[in-house]
């Protein structure tokens, strides 16, 4: 985990209320927003679970991304108590989440995807963390719905090539830490967000559509000095994922749409968030990663999708440069503190040949060697002491 802008005492002292926090924080009103797209198979279970969620729930809002299945009729007929917002077309989960933030009436918003099932005590486990200095987002631990003893998403850290290294991926729950702690990156499918802060940094970037959007949000918040928290005792169950984009066991092939989005969104994230020194110093590693990924795309029959994604990146360049100028003015934490070089995370669902496994091992070694040489050249702080002081006074 990268260092924080705040003193260590901010995250380890007894200003942390813990799961049994004071009644005032546990009574904080929260709006719940649910993003749905063709979720007929699981939206009812998702909303039924929310009906049993303990805490001061101001409202449950479902934002539907122009579903073409029966999920809208199901919601209207069986769960009329929720407020349903229908998007005219599918602009992706980022757009729907932004609508949820705009429509929410409370300071804190629990945003989940429709394939997430909350437990009754999830919110009460998350809420004590909002009393800590500088906290903008709190993440529950997501476990596999078909095997709750296995961690699916637990947050992660930023690899300098522009991907997230996932913590505790598919680890047994009993073998990983259970104490709340700071984390560099969070996963978007279930998050408790401080609405004013997230809105201040620009909300969810709709240009991503999906994939890397949570990495981007995490980086923009962390670079400005805000804290992200992981609470393992706050548990949600995660089901199928997004059809046509998520890669699940039994899928006949790697989704071409995912290859397209990966090729476009990863360099977009780097260009809009990294400082120029970080962009230049990370270039050899990013090129090596891109070559390996292109080889993977070729072997899986999605190279054309990958190349189309790279071409589509050109349309995002003006927005990337505009956003990076804004971040550079408000940055508190430098890339040297945020970026790292853990072994890359690869889904175990993807079957790899012996040659591919050796290539990945070689790639990890090469990336680590290069970062050991150049990573220390990046500043750990931004050099914006006035912004740092302003943030500290706000939080």
Between 165 and 393, the more confident residue is: 165
How far is residue 266 from each of residues 146, 164, 359, 374, measured CA to CA in Å? 30, 10, 21, 21
How far is residue 2 from each of residues 153, 159, 223, 237, 336, measured CA to CA in Å? 19, 11, 11, 28, 9
Q: What is the pLDDT of residues 189-246, one digit of tens each?
A: 999 999 999 999 999 999 999 999 999 999 999 999 999 999 999 999 999 766 666 6
Between 2 and 177, the more confident residue is: 177
Determine how β-strand 227-238 pairs with β-strand 108-113: unpaired
The pTM for the full model equals 0.90
Determine how β-strand 339-340 pairs with β-strand 156-159: parallel
Each domain of the chain, given as residue ranges in start order, spans 9-238, 256-394
CATH assignment of 9-238? 3.90.550.10
Place of tokens 């100028």: 325
Q: What is the pLDDT of residues 89-137, one digit of tens each?
A: 999 999 999 999 999 999 999 999 999 999 999 999 999 999 999 999 9
- Phi and psi at 145, nearest 5°, equal -65, -35
Q: What is the pLDDT of residues 161-198, one digit of tens each?
A: 999 999 999 999 999 999 999 999 999 999 999 999 99
Q: Which two tokens stand for residue 239?
A: 């089901």
Best CA proximity match to 104, nearest among 28, 33, 17, 9: 33
Q: What is the pLDDT of residues 16-70, one digit of tens each?
A: 444 445 689 999 999 999 999 999 999 999 999 999 999 999 999 999 999 999 9
Contact 148, 237 (CB under 8 A): yes
SS3 23: helix
Give, to the nearest 10 degrees, the angle between helix 213-223 and helix 256-273: 10
Contact 130, 216 (CB under 8 A): no
pLDDT confidence bin for 247, thresholds 50/70/90: low
d(CA 80, CA 87): 18
For the chain, how many helices (H) and strands (E)? 15, 13
d(CA 28, CA 22): 11
Residue 227, beta-bridge partner list: 135
Mean of pLDDT values over 294-312: 96
């Amino acid at each position: 985990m990268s260092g924080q802008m705040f003193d260590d005492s901010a995250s380890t002292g007894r200003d942390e209320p813990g799961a049994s926090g004071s009644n005032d924080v546990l009574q904080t009103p929260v709006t719940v927003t649910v993003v749905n797209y063709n979720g007929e198979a699981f939206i009812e279970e998702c909303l039924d679970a929310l009906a049993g969620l303990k805490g001061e729930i101001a409202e449950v809002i479902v934002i539907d991304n122009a579903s073409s299945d029966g999920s809208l009729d199901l919601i209207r007929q069986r769960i009329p108590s929720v407020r349903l917002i229908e998007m005219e077309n599918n602009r992706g989960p980022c757009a729907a989440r932004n609508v949820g933030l705009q429509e929410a009436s409370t300071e804190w918003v629990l945003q989940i995807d429709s394939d997430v099932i909350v437990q009754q005590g999830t919110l009460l486990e998350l809420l004590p963390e909002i009393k800590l200095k500088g906290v903008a987002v709190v993440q529950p631990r997501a476990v596999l719905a078909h095997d709750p003893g296995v961690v699916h998403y637990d947050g992660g850290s930023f690899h300098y090539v522009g991907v997230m290294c996932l913590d505790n991926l598919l680890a047994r729950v009993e073998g990983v830490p259970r104490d709340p702690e700071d984390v560099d990156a969070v996963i978007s499918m279930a998050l408790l967000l401080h609405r004013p802060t997230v809105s201040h940094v620009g909300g969810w970037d709709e240009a991503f559509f999906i994939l890397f959007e949570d990495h981007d949000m995490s980086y923009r918040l962390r670079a400005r000095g805000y804290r992200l928290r992981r609470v393992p005792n706050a548990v949600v169950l995660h089901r199928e994922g997004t059809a046509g984009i998520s890669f699940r066991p039994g899928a006949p092939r790697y989704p071409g749409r995912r290859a397209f989005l990966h090729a476009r969104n990863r360099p977009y994230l780097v260009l809009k968030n990294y400082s120029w020194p970080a962009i230049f110093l990370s270039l050899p590693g990013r090129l090596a990663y891109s070559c390996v990924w292109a080889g993977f795309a070729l072997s899986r029959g999605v190279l054309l999708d990958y190349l189309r994604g790279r071409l589509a990146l050109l349309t995002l360049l003006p927005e990337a440069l505009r956003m990076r100028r804004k971040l550079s003015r408000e940055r508190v934490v430098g890339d040297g503190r945020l970026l790292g070089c853990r072994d890359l995370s690869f889904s175990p669902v993807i079957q790899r040949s012996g040659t591919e496994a050796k290539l990945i091992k070689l790639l990890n070694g090469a990336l680590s060697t290069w970062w050991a040489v150049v990573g220390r050249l990046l500043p750990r702080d931004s050099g914006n002491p006035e912004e740092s002081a302003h943030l500290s006074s706000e939080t």
